[in-house]
Amino acid sequence: MQYIENFKNKLLEKAKASGFESAEFFYQSSSSKKINIYEGKVEKNQTSSTGGFSFRGLYNGKMGNYYSEDINEDIIDTVIEGAKQNAMLIENDDKEFIYSGGGEYAKINTYDADISDITAEELAEYAKTLEKAALNADSRVTKVLAATLSAGEAYISLGNTAGLDLNERSNYVIAYADCVAEENGETKENGEFGFYMHKKDIDPADIGRKAAEKTLAMLGADSVKTGEYDIIIQNEALGDLLDCFIGNFYGENVQKGFSMLKDRIGEKIADERLTLVDDPHMEGGMATCAFDSEGVPTRKNVLIENGVLKMFLHNLKSAAAAGEEPTGNGFKQSFKSTVGISATNIYIRSGDKTKNELLSELKNGLLITELSGLHAGANSISGDFSLLASGFEVKDGKITGPVEQITVADNFYTIINKVKSIGNDMKFNSGGVGAPSVLFEKISIAGK
């Protein structure tokens, strides 16, 4: 990557000499290889790679931007002039910022050389193992629609005229299974996914078995009567629900009126058992990183502590508007995009109850294992949601049978005050949002 570093240094040097008050270079590249096995044979073998840089700088008080996939010293003058022209077209008076440095960067390891060395042939063997484990779990598992293994790698280089010079390399493996089970003319489909940052942890057979178990468990499902129920929302499903409302904790949304949490710092907004944490330094996290896309050091942030709203997540711009320090959450979706705000490894902190203890405390109610229609059925600002759900009926603390064709309806700000107990089984969903299973009281369920 030395040619990138050389390009960065020359571009920033030229920017300073060309009248930019401050300037920043951001480079991002990613590559992946993906194998899908169907009936023991490779159905898909895909590879992809992308990369490019963005340059932005303050010129006469305005932020000019330029991006390109071409890393070539011959285009430096074009980049400089393009960013200048862009700055001169800006008519608003919004304040923009280039990070001037400061703070300590956590020493974290997000790269495993063994994962980097995984071949397509190895991925295929992993995927075959996954498919076989799912099919062997039970004769009622008739198909594995997806037995997929993918390995990815990413690299970021960031520098600015204030002397910031950062880079970070990461890689991972994802395993995914999608199963079909059939019994007495009824067909069900479900899946399971695993995320790994170390080759030694990869366990495709486990993913295959869990996908089969999830699918088999829903055979024979029926609805329940409409009413008000105490419910347990299982870890992964609760992570999906939480994901719909994370934006309410972003400083920019709060300032623009897109959050109901404005002016509520220090207030109790949830049950005292609930603590919400954003931890970019988590070992093995999907979004673990030492710095954000602006070069600000990342840090562990506690958003809700024992039910009390403590803070919002900020990038440089929203932090300045709030008169606060940035939290290290200024991220770009890609090198082509502008800086926004994003959580990293965000999760509800685990409690101390086992699943059986939660079921015993629930006694009679529902265990919700899956929520769907999340984007259409949830209003991210008001907090209202009405979502299709499936899971299990619970009687006398025991699971009695699968449930489907029901709708769960409530409000995010209300439901986080209906917590009765929190489990010790935190799990992250495929979007990188974590939660344990949580027992809630008096939730509206629409059924038959």
Residue range 384-436, pLDDT digits in tens: 999 999 999 999 999 999 999 999 999 999 999 999 999 999 999 999 999 99
The predicted model scores a pTM of: 0.95
Question: Would the pLDDT of 375 be above 90?
Answer: no
Tell me the domain boundaries of the chain: 2-216, 221-448
Looking at domain 2-216, which CATH architecture does it have? 2-Layer Sandwich (3.30)
For the chain, what is the mean pLDDT?
97
**Cα angle, residue 418 at apex, residues 416 and 423 outer, rounded to 5°:** 80
Residue range 243-269, pLDDT digits in tens: 999 999 999 999 999 999 999 999 999
Residue 257, judged by CB atoms within 10 A of its CB (0-12, 13-18, 19+), counts as exposed
Question: Would the pLDDT of 315 be above 90?
Answer: yes
Which pLDDT score is estimated for 1? 78
**Helix, strand, coil shares of the chain as percentages rounded to 5?**
25, 40, 35
Strand, helix or coil for residue 359:
helix
Which pLDDT score is estimated for 355? 96
Question: Would the pLDDT of 92 be above 90?
Answer: no
Those residues with Cβ within 8 angstroms of residue 300's Cβ, 6 or more apart along the chain or in another chain: 277, 278, 279, 280, 281
Taking the alpha carbons at both ends of the chain, their separation in whole angstroms is 61
CA distance 14 to 12: 5
